[in-house]
Amino acid sequence: MKQLPTKKELGQIRRTHLGRYLFELDRFYRNISIAIIQKNGFPDLTPALLATLSQIDLENGTEMQELVRRMKSTKQAVSRTLKTCEDLGYIERTPAPDDGRALNISFTAKGLKLMKAAAEAISMTEKRVSDSLGKVKFQDLKQLLASAVENLDLVVVDKPHD
């Protein structure tokens, strides 16, 4: 039987594991991006709302069932968040074009403005990380993470376009 790590070894593991680095980077990325978006006219935006809105296709919207699949959540939980998004004027729900019983979630004009502000915030946040790492290391990091997501068969809405 394998011996348990010492307190020192356990501390080292806790400080240096991949999940910890990803968590800290995600927290930084989300906090900076949300602050930029809020400052640019969307003070009511929260991380939960942005997480949901980021899964909706810009062109034709997204059917509710597909959104639930992408969010890896329940229909009830997604519906609650969508209700808030709808109340704030970011989205609208309409019958799906292919199936009148299904709901299609799409952006309103205000929602599209929010998505443009989010794209600007992403650019600014990524520039900050790129400046910190250097362009080559930053591109390498993005490619490695994209590869991990693809190889682990995680949900990806849009493939990156280079």
Q: What is the pLDDT along the chain (162 residues), one digit of tens a residue?
A: 788 899 999 999 999 999 999 999 999 999 999 999 999 999 999 999 999 999 999 988 999 999 999 998 999 999 999 999 999 999 999 988 777 788 899 999 999 999 999 999 999 999 999 999 999 999 999 999 999 988 887 765 554 444
pLDDT score, position 162: 44
Three state DSSP letters for 89-152 = CCEEEEECCCCCCCEEEEECHHHHHHHHHHHHHHHHHHHHHHHHHCHHHHHHHHHHHHHHHHHC
Topology classification of domain 11-150: Arc Repressor Mutant, subunit A (1.10.10)
pLDDT score, position 161: 44
Would you kindly state where each structural domain of the chain is located, as residue ranges?
A: 11-150
pLDDT score, position 160: 46
pLDDT score, position 97: 79
